[in-house]
Structure 1
Amino acid sequence: MSVSSRYRRAWEGFWGEAPEERGAVFWDAEPEITAARHLPLLEPHLLASDLPFVDLGCGNGTQTRFLAGRFPTVVGVDLAAAAVDLARRSDPGGLASYRRLDAADPSEAAGLHAEFGDANLYLRGVLHQCVADDRQPLADGIATLLGSRGRALVVEPAPAAKAVLMGLAREPAGPSAKLAPVFRHGLTPAEAGEDEVAGHLRAAGLTVLDGGELPLVTTEHGVDGRPLELPALWLVAGVSAPTGDA
């Protein structure tokens, strides 16, 4: 199974019209307040820090380039070819590599695993955007990419984030210039709750090793001028290490 054609078209359309300047996309916050905050949650659980590191749902590659300065091999993958093209243009020095990947397609996930072997993964705000029928296949793809040694850090907006986003959409002036494309392309933010995300990972044969809450910073700003933060949850998942393993 691969993701629905509607979902694929939505993301191609979104990234095809996304501005190239840094921070112009709603969730394209600086790595220092996104990936840099998230990595310490993952690092205590890594079995091998020298594994390839996959940024799944890399978008324009802002976080991917940050990760490339901290791990020996970093690959940014995205469902949308338009996102991959933008990520490559935004990385003229070739800090990371980028490719289109439908991780919900078993053959594509298996192909990437065959090429790179077990990998550690960063997944920020991807599962909650999937249509419901695509979430379990995507979780299965995550398990394939991790293999027996990889660990995944999954960061997703909490259900409470949806009320925040809907409130912004109902402002008298309408959604902001950064938020409007999300709704215009039919994307559905904050549709998956913590129990559902954890359930999909467990059904894929993974163990949820850790988790908690940490706000997800966006590039939008509130009336006080501070960056808008969405309630969010994080989970670390992987195959449980045998007793006595490091």
Structure 2
Amino acid sequence: MDVSSRYRESWEGYWRETSDAPGEAIWDCDPSLSSAPHSALLLPYADATLPVVDLGCGNGTQTRYLATRFARAIGVDLSHAAVEHARRADPTGTAEFEQLDLVDHVAVRALHKRTGDSNVYLRAVIHQSDPHDRPAVAEAVAELIGSRGRAFVAELTPASQTVLRGAVEGPGGPPRKLRRVFDHGLKPAGVTDEEVPELLRAAGLEILAAGDTALPQTEHLADGTRIELPARWFVLAGR
């Protein structure tokens, strides 16, 4: 199974029209606000000598940070254009990057065969996926961690819709970076509070720890306040 051509082309179009400037993508925040605190939550449960796979790596900002905390970091993304961004931003080869469709079970299994059991970092991918693809994304996490890896998953909650609505309805309409997300048909915060943990458990994952958080964005409201989207995080193991 593969993702729909519409979904794939939405992401290819988004990344083709995104510059290499840091922070140009609304979610491309500095690692100090994202993968650094997330790693601090994951590492007490994880073996850092195992690789880490950043699922939905985009332009690789978080992957490059993860490479400083784990023995090896591999960033994968559905979009070829995103992978090209990531490779350009990493000329010294701090991390590795490749195109991967998380819904393609054969490709995910092949990656697991190459890397062995790995840790996984998944930030805000499930909520953007088409509903019928979400179980496969959770199953990809389970496949990649195997029995020895651990995963960190952070996903937007429905409360994010309220924040986004406020940004859209503010003076001047949606800020530029947020408008680009909508223009490409990408729909954030599309899961319910219970859907993500249910998907994770159904994939055979055990929730070791969980909590509430917010995912900082690189865009701001008209009054200068940074947009931060309510989210929930999970540290996971295979059963």
Calculate the TM-score normalised by the size of structure 1.
0.94
Secondary structure at 2:76 match in 1: strand
Structure 2 CA distance, aligned partners of 1:175 and 1:2? 32
- CA drift at 1:226: 3.9
Structure 1 CA distance, aligned partners of 2:98 and 2:59? 12
Q: Is the 8 A contact 1:104 1:139 kept in 2?
A: no
* Deviations, residues 60-114 of structure 1 (Å, cap 9, x unaligned): 0111111111211100000000000000001111100100001111101000001
Matches within 5 A, 1:79-158: 79-158=78-157
Secondary structure at 1:99 match in 2: strand
RMSD: 1.2
The equivalent residue for 2:26 is 26
Equivalent residues, number = 239
Structure 2 CA distance, aligned partners of 1:3 and 1:153? 23
Q: Is the 8 A contact 2:175 2:221 kept in 1?
A: no
Secondary structure at 2:232 match in 1: strand
Structure 1 stretches of 5 or more lacking a match? 241-246
Structure 2 CA distance, aligned partners of 1:61 and 1:184? 23
Structure 2 stretches of 5 or more lacking a match? none
Q: Is the 8 A contact 1:23 1:29 kept in 2?
A: yes
* Deviations, residues 162-196 of structure 1 (Å, cap 9, x unaligned): 12112212334221111111101111100113311
Secondary structure at 1:133 match in 2: helix
Q: Is the 8 A contact 2:158 2:192 kept in 1?
A: yes
2:12 paired with 1:16:
no
Structure 2 CA distance, aligned partners of 1:168 and 1:224? 11
Residue 16 of structure 1 aligns with an amino acid whose one-letter code is R
Residue 147 of structure 2 aligns with an amino acid whose one-letter code is S
The equivalent residue for 2:232 is 233
- CA drift at 1:227: 2.2
* Deviations, residues 4-24 of structure 1 (Å, cap 9, x unaligned): 221111111111101210011
2:49 paired with 1:50:
yes
Matches within 5 A, 1:188-199: 188-199=187-198
Secondary structure at 1:231 match in 2: strand
Calculate the TM-score normalised by the size of structure 2.
0.96
